[in-house]
A = this chain, B = another copy of it.
Amino acid sequence: MAEKLIYLFEEGSESLRALLGGKGAGLAEMTKAGLPVPPGFTITTEVCRKYLKLGKEVLKEIEPEVRKKMEILEEKTGKRFGDVNNPLLVSVRSGAPVSMPGMMDTILNLGLNDETVKGLIAQTGDERFAYDSYRRFIQMFGNVVMGIPHEEFEHIIEKWKREKGVKYDTEVDAVTWKKVIEDYKELVKKKTGKEFPQDVWEQLFMAIAAVFESWNNERAKVYRKIHGISEEMGTAVNVQTMVFGNRGNDSGTGVAFTRNPSTGEKKIYGEFLLNAQGEDVVAGIRTPLPIEKMAEALPEIYEELKRVCDQLERYYKDVQDIEFTVEKGKLYLLQTRSGKRTAQAAVKIAVDMVKEGIIDKATAVRMVSPKQVETLLHRQVDPSAKYDVLAKGLPASPGAACGKVVFTADEASELGSRGEKVILVRPETTPDDIHGLYAAQGILTSRGGMTSHAAVVARGMGKPCVVGCEAISIDLEKEVFTVGNVVVKKGDVITIDGSRGIVILGEVPMVEPSMSPEFRELLSWADEIARLQVWANADTPEDARRAREFGAKGIGLCRTEHMFMAEDRLPAVKRMIMAMTREERESALDEILPMQEGDFYEILKAMEGYPVTIRLLDPPLHEFLPKEREILEELMELEKEPEKNALLIEEKRELLKKVRALQEANPMLGFRGCRLGIVYPEIYEMQVRAIFRAATRLVKEGCKALPDVMLPIVGHWKEMEILREMVVRVAEEEMSKAGVRVEYHVGTMIELPRAALTADEIAKYAEFFSFGTNDLTQTVFGFSRDDVEGKFLPQYIEKGILKHNPFEVLDRDGVGALMKIAVEKGRKTRPNLKIGICGEHGGEPSSIEFCHQIGLNYVSCSPFRVPVARLAAAHAKLSEDGKGWSSEK
């Protein structure tokens, strides 16, 4: 290994993040910025990768260099590693290039043994502290490095506390800690067959190896899988001089965000514990104090901390999440990293930082990921709803969720995967629970703070979460929790509001989110950057209005079949389908026409000045008739009194005949879309007539209606030619009847491979294309969505054949390749061809990025996803310019 394997903090930098990990790079930057960081060094991820490949040999290779660096730490601190009189103690921590909170392991107080503990007493004059530190070290080392369960150590402490009649750890005296240590060492020997290592160098290299190996532990793997982090990266190891927050009431430890990670408020935010080590905070075992309390306990340190936070933010141009320790009145920073935040906070922070002159608009847009703002579109408890609050906890992750109570991660995962909505209720969560957190609608814990495992993970996932809700008392065995005399059993429904930290019994009405002024501002910046426009899919005037409110610049898909399904129309629709002659069919259609006209009038009006793309009838006609089984059952019932029901029976038999005649083996590939329009032109004519009657009426009323007529399931240019001619003819008839002109276009969905492959021919007759990537995915893969999602698709994803469900994330290699062909061929014929997408992918960030890359003009998605899409469109542009985030990993 020729390259530099170990960096002192002062030698590193942010640009070496891939080698040093996030923590190492952060410590380096802080050190260089002159901040108070205990000295230390970082062993690179390169070493980890080699270790994972070649094994222990690698430790021997780095040993000389590690010893050299330890000497430098000895020089800086004036202490010596393993020295009986003035021992140097270090922490050993993992730090991957991408943040993986709670995933990797940490060892503190390394360098203590039966001899050096005496040196620590000499240094500090605090025997109790020294033995407490030693027992903590054995416990942590025994657990993390030697694999002995945490509980077995806790049992020993419990035993001694009972013996001594004390309740809290803080009440345990030095003598008792010594006994605990004896028992610990015996436990280690019993469990591992070896003595607890007294050689401090052996301790150090075992710890380094354990950090490397922790890269491959189960919870780390799960985390990486969920977050799409590469398995190849490896972790760095940070070895740092120990400082102690547990040296009395002028000491302490804490974590702080430079701004509120939940709301984005510009105010230092966090928690601290007096006289405690860092692990006490992060593990959520003791409930810490809000950081403001430091102003009383350690006022000078608090002021210094605020200054340091400000300095860090301006240095990193982002909110920082720091760990600090105060040792006997001196502040030390142990870690800094970009602070995880809620979407709401992310938006506010980004906008505020622009206004504070820290960053520019593009950076602000880049700082908020489209995936993140999805959570802003989470529902909230209806402010006008009446309900009783069952309990209050900490508002750890915003949004409201409702579901059945479950008490184990396994059960949450099982029910969740079946599509049931559950709330996972736990005293606290651990990394082993990650699959349950993932499957649950929300998380409720009785213990832990805002930075506890549950809180951090829930915020990352954008799930509502309430933590530290001490009012609830959980009985895991009986699977109930109680609040006073209210008993909540497994399966009972509760609602949690993670924005306010409250728990409610039963289901509460919720409201859909609206956008904050900051969010609007950020999205307007995003629009300035983006090349793609964002439109919405909307079938009703309400949806259209909502889409507009969320910033949609048009309707990319207005489906007309839902209008056919409306209860007041279904009888006429049925008559239309049952018609034996064209005349009968037309008479039924005449009844539907004014209703459709009304639909179009409202939606065109709601979108005044913006195009509304109306798709003519798409589903096969049998979808409007009852199912065969239903009719058969009704018939059997009627035939119990055949004479009385003679007429009805006759009618049902007719219906049955029609239903059977219309039955299809593969309706997805059957008689639908424009095929209906070709065989029954009168149906499409009626729809087009309704569109132009509505539009001309609006134009006469002074409203700018912009209808675009879209034909579904076109596969051959001749279909397009015939139907385009029909649309133009009917439009002209209606316009000349009304005496006004309407601006309109005729275009087609591209949802069949053949349409994409012959797009040059189709573009001769189509003024716009809209990719129907739902159907295109079905035909390109040969996947019937109805059939495969529940059957083999999960196995395909599990086996790694597919990375994502292709109905959620656009398949670039297959479907995308076909889209590219269609864009190229279409624009060859008609260079200014307007092209969009109206499949569900139109609201998914990675798919939007791809649409940007292949040069689409717009994406159209459900109204609630419009903000996500606007942001994603901007990110796609920034990414293209080499400035940012890319969703493709």
Residues of A within 8 A of B (CB): 664-671, 675, 678-679, 713, 715-716, 718-719, 722, 751-754, 757-758, 761, 775, 778-784, 786-788, 791-792, 795-796, 799-802, 811, 813-815, 817-818
Question: CB distance B668 to A801 under 8 Å?
Answer: no
Partner of A679, one of B671, B753, B761, B792: B792
A715-B814, A801-B716 known; A669-B754 Cβ under 8 A: no
Give the distance to chain B from A716, nearest Cβ to Cβ, in Å: 6
Question: CB distance A753 to B718 under 8 Å?
Answer: no
Within the oligomer, what is the number of copies of this chain? 2
What chain B residues lie within 8 Å of A668 (beta carbons)? 665-666, 668-669, 782, 784
Partner of A813, one of B713, B761, B783, B800: B761
Question: CB distance A722 to B814 under 8 Å?
Answer: no
Cα A671 to Cα B783 in complex, Å, equals 8
Give the distance to chain B from A800, nearest Cβ to Cβ, in Å: 7
Question: CB distance B664 to A813 under 8 Å?
Answer: no
A718-B801, A800-B718 known; A787-B757 Cβ under 8 A: no
What chain B residues lie within 8 Å of A811 (beta carbons)? 754
What chain B residues lie within 8 Å of A788 (beta carbons)? 669-671, 675
Question: CB distance A792 to B678 under 8 Å?
Answer: yes
What chain B residues lie within 8 Å of A722 (beta carbons)? 799, 801
What chain B residues lie within 8 Å of A719 (beta carbons)? 801
What are 9 residue pairs bridging A and B, where the CB atoms are less than 8 Å apart in the complex?
Answer: A668-B782, A669-B783, A669-B784, A671-B787, A671-B788, A715-B782, A753-B779, A754-B780, A758-B814
Give the distance to chain B from A724, nearest Cβ to Cβ, in Å: 13
Cα A754 to Cα B53 in complex, Å, equals 35
A664-B787, A678-B795 known; A754-B775 Cβ under 8 A: no
A665-B668, A787-B666, A817-B758 known; A753-B778 Cβ under 8 A: no
Cα A792 to Cα B795 in complex, Å, equals 37
Question: CB distance A752 to B781 under 8 Å?
Answer: yes
What chain B residues lie within 8 Å of A781 (beta carbons)? 669, 715, 752, 754
Question: CB distance A713 to B782 under 8 Å?
Answer: yes
A675-B792, A678-B799, A796-B678 known; A666-B784 Cβ under 8 A: yes
Question: CB distance B801 to A678 under 8 Å?
Answer: yes
What chain B residues lie within 8 Å of A669 (beta carbons)? 666, 668-669, 778-779, 781-784, 787-788
List 20 additional A-B contacts (Cβ < 8 Å) besides A665-B668, A670-B788: A664-B786, A665-B786, A666-B667, A666-B784, A666-B786, A667-B784, A668-B668, A668-B669, A669-B778, A669-B781, A669-B782, A670-B784, A678-B795, A715-B781, A719-B801, A752-B781, A752-B782, A754-B781, A754-B811, A758-B817
> Which residue of B is nearest A665, CB measured?
B786
Partner of A814, one of B665, B670, B757, B814: B757
Question: CB distance B782 to A775 under 8 Å?
Answer: yes
Cα A782 to Cα B776 in complex, Å, equals 9
Cα A751 to Cα B667 in complex, Å, equals 20
Cα A611 to Cα B753 in complex, Å, equals 33
Counting from the closest, the 6 A-B pairs by CB-CB distance are A669-B784, A666-B784, A754-B814, A665-B786, A670-B787, A718-B801
What chain B residues lie within 8 Å of A665 (beta carbons)? 667-668, 784, 786-787
Cα A719 to Cα B718 in complex, Å, equals 37
What chain B residues lie within 8 Å of A818 (beta carbons)? 753, 757
Give the distance to chain B from A13, nearest Cβ to Cβ, in Å: 39
Cα A45 to Cα B108 in complex, Å, equals 100
